[in-house]
Amino acid sequence: MRAALVTRSSDVAALIAEATDHSCGAVSVFLGTVRNVHEGKAVTGIEYQAYDAMAVRELQAILGRAHERFETGHIVVEHRLGFLGLGEVSVAIVAAHPHRQRAMDATRYAIEEIKKTVPIWKLEHYADGTREWVDPTRASIVIEPSPVAEVVG
């Protein structure tokens, strides 16, 4: 098991090689990537910041719990910090297991837990030049389509 914060692109092939050995019949990979829109606003990139020491500690704790739950120590996670452009990988999680279900469950568990507990924040940069810290606890702004008047001919 290994958890790290990184400031360069994750090498997914290397992570797969690191997580796997010949006892594993399944490898599950989750990649989080930078999307071009958030709540209707065009996004040009995201800047990630962390409370580094605590974030690594929390990531390691998540891998420890995943190990217990899914009986696999074959799990590696890297979370990127700094500015990332569209499409870049912000988080890479690789879990391997003799069988597919637990490999997939482990990656799913890890990303869901990362979003809940790891002290990492993202500053979205928008196409209009503004920036905003993302707050997942804030209610999303739901943009309702305008009612369309029925045209009676």
- C-alpha 93/C-alpha 19 separation (Å) is 10
Q: Is 35 in the site for another protein (CB under 8 A)?
A: no
37 binds another protein (CB under 8 A): no
Reading the block at residue 102, the tokens are 């637990």
Residue 134 near another protein by CB under 8 A = yes
Cβ 74 vs Cβ 90: under 8 Å: no
Judged by CB, which is closer to another protein: 92, or 104?
92
Kindly state the number of chain residues that form the binding site for another protein, as judged by CB under 8 A.
Answer: 29
Q: Is 48 in the site for another protein (CB under 8 A)?
A: yes
Rounded Cα distance, 84 and 87, in Å: 8
Contacts of 52 (CB under 8 A, 6+ apart): 5, 81
Scanning 20-28, 52-60, 67-75, 101-109 for contacts with another protein by CB under 8 A, the matching segment is 52-60
Stretch that binds another protein, among 16-24, 63-71, 116-124, 144-152 (CB under 8 A): 116-124
Told to check if 109 binds another protein by CB under 8 A, we report no
Q: Which two tokens stand for residue 87?
A: 């499409």
User: CB of 8 within 8 A of CB of 89?
Assistant: no
Indicate whether 70 belongs to the interface with another protein (CB under 8 A).
Answer: no
Closest CA to 84 of 128, 132, 43: 43
Binding site for another protein (CB under 8 A): 32, 48-51, 53-55, 57, 79, 90-91, 111, 114-123, 133-138
